[in-house]
Structure 1
Amino acid sequence: MRILFKTSYDFDINHLVDPGERVRVLLLIVLALAAPLFVSAYGLSELSLFLCYALAGLGLMVLTGFSGQVSFGHAAFLGVGAYAHAYLLGHGIPFFVALPLAGLISGLLGAALGRAASRMHGFYLAIATLAFAILVETVIGAAEPITGGHIGMSVPGIEIFGQSLAASWQHYYLYLAILLFFVWGVANLKRSVNGRAMIAVRDSETSAQSLGVDIARTKITAFFVSAFITGVAGGLLAHQLYYLSPETFGLGESLKLLLMIVVGGLGTISGALIGAVFVSFLPNVIELLREVLPGRVAHQVGLEPFMFGAIIVGFIIFEPDGLYGRWRKFRLFLETYPYYKRATFTRQKRYLKTGRFR
């Protein structure tokens, strides 16, 4: 078993203290930077789509993984960001101004929802966010002069300093840089005062308030930051979709985002990225299943949402720590073998069963 000795006061605040983890992260970044050298244009387009969902999953992770607020309607913020970004670009706003503005619009809407839902918990919060998503989808469809209604809305191309970015590799590098920036930002948020307050609220609102944490303010902050990141992801996703319609950001998309963080691993940045990989390949796996399943089952309209729901339930019951949690257990097994103990891998309770403030 390897022991990490603290030789500096920076040890407790460094992002990557494990040398092996540093090497793995560095290799992933190098591999991501070198991807355009050996991946086709179609492959780069798919990777860009993956980066958009990874960023959206990172936004939902801030809300659900860090602060414990369940959202069944997070695709609404994805849609608001996409439409706001496309609308601003269409009116001559530069890309690097339109994108954060779209995120800000989505974030303010998220803060408003967080203020209204700050006293809700569990099932009631999930229903409130689901109703919010349905409301946003209805409003987008009805606001025909702005959004094009159900006919749809085309998305202008990306132009930076007068240069048009039309190639797949240009989109890919732009999305990768934005994702890395937000990963770095969320990593800093997690160890900041606000991030620690979110984790305290997630684990026990009673204990957090006894330590002086403002519960309502923390929840509103979590909603704002989460919606802001998801809105930026929606702005990037708009360029991958080329054409926007309200149905694109429905319940299925919210379920996909929730599946992403549950499968990846709640409460971890790596979980959002791993979950995005899983969700990106899942539709292809479902299409392969359609070929081997009986015809009556394979052609059912709700097969994909059913699979998403079944996978979420399965992970919650059998592996609540997600794929990243399974990787950590396997790594600990290798480090301690043959001196490991079975109790080492006993599932621990993440959330305290203390009272919630109404």
Structure 2
Amino acid sequence: MRFVFKTRYEQDLRLWRHKGDLIAYGLLAIFLVTFPMYADLYYVGEANMWLIYSIAALGLMIAIGFTGMVSLGHSAFLGIGAYAHAYFLQLGIPFVFSLPLAAMLSGVMGVCVGRPTLRMHGLYLAIATLAFALITQEVMSKWSSVTGGFDGLPVAAPDFLSIQTEEIYQGGLFSVGGLHVGWTELWSPASLYYICLVVLAFAALLAKNLLRSPTGRAFVAIRDSEVSAQSMGIHLAQYKTTAFGISAFVTGLAGGLFAHQITHLAPDAFNIFISIELLLICVVGGIGTIQGALLGAMFLVALRSLIPIARDAVTAGAAEADWLSGLVRFVNAPGLEAGLFGLLLVIFIIFEPFGLYGRWLKIKTYFDLFPLYKKATFARQKSYVKTERLR
């Protein structure tokens, strides 16, 4: 049992609440670092998708979870980051420079979109960002000189600074002694896994430090009540634009890594369904939490892997039982995944609005307080504050 009693304001600014958190996340880091050493290639590829979706969900979480701005256009920022990164690689820009540049371009586009949509709220903001996503997808399909149009754009393997011997020298920056310093290609699912892991750690620390900063606290104030935030001197336009820009920047980082995961870009890879998946991750994992982005992404990747397995099992069973033929047609119907994801989204909103991480906190609190818990501890409360009634 652990109770944290805060006696100083500095305790709210700590990265870790207590040593227990440090030990738990340290063990998690050790597991993630050693995972490719004993896992099969298939599971490493699935882990790459989990890491990439977690980074993209963290980007969306900054907008929808921390600031309260609903967006259905983050597939556009994912696509901008992916295409920009692939294009920069074709120009010969090294990976370590290309990925941040692509993310910065995505962030600039986020600022350009966020600025004119500041006065929109809720459904209207979602429609505006959805329109931006559709426009971006159309640009990807028509701007053939840059994106390759419907033929797609191949993605070069990531390259890193290395020291090469004379036998493997492929051209470099400069030579020292008999050694050559240059860029060498490095590609395998394991290498991409470690790149994604480092970027995810950076994105998580960015989000965590953002929440501890005055800027992040302003984001949360805007989310809880724009009226109260504005009365306290928070510039709504400035902070909303900043939130949208940072959100698009992080999503652009995920887009660059996603480009290496699929190795060949096409406009239909960044459709509205990707935005719905990111929204599903945030809601299922837990709105407004960093851990929720990781749990929601894990849930989505696992669900996408289980759906084909279930289809194969039903199809195989239909060969022995005629009554399963109708079920086979149902599981093989087009749009089943989209319908299932939408159903899960509604279920979580109604029955578990705090997501998987919220459920974990409830279970943890139950055992921390046992047997002194109260049933009212887990009673739902209204999520709005009194000042929201002024609208």
For this structure pair, what is the TM-score category when the shorter chain's length is used for normalisation?
A: over 0.9
Counterpart for residue 70 of structure 1: 70
What residue is the counterpart of 1:299 in the other structure?
A: 332
Q: Distance in 1 between matches of 2:207 and 2:376?
A: 32
Which residue of 2 is the match for residue 128 of structure 1? 128
Contact preservation (8 Å) 1:119, 1:357: no
How far, CA to CA, are the matches of 2:260 and 2:389 in structure 1? 42
Q: Which residue of 2 aligns with 1:326?
A: 359
Which of 227, 240, 248 is the equivalent residue of 1:206?
Answer: 227
Structure 1 counterpart SS, 2:37: helix
Q: Deviations over 1:104-159 (max 9, x none)?
A: 11111111111111000011111111111111000110101110001111001100
* Aligned match of 2:348: 315
**Cα deviation, residue 355, structure 1:** 4.7
Following superposition, the deviation at residue 3 of structure 1 comes to 2.3
Q: Deviations over 1:13-42 (max 9, x none)?
A: 112113332222111101001112211233
Equivalent in the alignment of 2:170: none
Partner of 1:57: 57
Task: Name the structure 1 match of 2:254.
Answer: 233
Contact 1:202 1:351 (C-alpha < 8 Å) held by counterparts: no
Q: How far, CA to CA, are the matches of 1:99 and 1:196 in structure 2? A: 29
Residue aligning to 1:348: 381
Equivalents in 1 of 2:110, 2:58: separation in Å? 15
Do structure 1's residue 16 and structure 2's residue 16 form an aligned pair? Answer: yes
Structure 1: segments with no counterpart, 5+ residues: none
Residue 273 (structure 1) aligned to one of 283, 294, 305: 294
Q: Select which of 237, 257, 271 maps to 1:216.
A: 237
Match of residue 306 from structure 2: 285
Matched to 2:376, the amino acid is A
Range 341-350 or range 2-11, more displaced: 2-11
- Offset at 1:47? 1.3
CA RMSD of aligned residues (A): 1.7
Residue 158 of structure 1 pairs with residue 155 of structure 2: no
* Structure 1 position 354, deviation (Å): 4.1
Instruction: Report the equivalent of 1:2.
Output: 2
Quote how far apart the aligned CAs of 1:52 are: 0.9
CA positional deviation for 1:9: 5.7
Match of 1:103, as an amino acid?
A
Tell which structure's C-alpha radius of gyration is larger. Answer: 2
Whether the 8 Å CA contact 1:205–1:356 is kept in 2: the answer is no
- 2:387, 2:336 → 1: CA distance? 38
Gaps of at least 5 residues in structure 2 are: 162-182, 315-323
Q: Distance in 2 between matches of 1:330 and 1:115?
A: 41
Q: Pick from 170, 192, 198: which aligns with 1:177?
A: 198
**8 A Cα contact 1:157 1:165, kept in partner:** yes
**Structure 2 CA distance for aligned equivalents of residues 282 and 175 of structure 1:** 21
Change over 3 Å in CA distance of 1:296–1:36 after alignment to 2:
closer
Read off the aligned partner of 1:259 and give its amino acid letter.
Answer: L
One-letter identity of the residue aligned with 2:34: A
Moved more, 27-36 or 285-294: 285-294
SS of equivalent residue, structure 2 residue 234: coil
Q: Could you state the TM-score of these two structures normalised by the residue count of structure 2?
A: 0.88
**Quick one: percent identity of the two aligned structures?**
48
Cα deviations across residues 180-202 of structure 1 (Å, max 9, x unaligned)?
11111110001111111110000
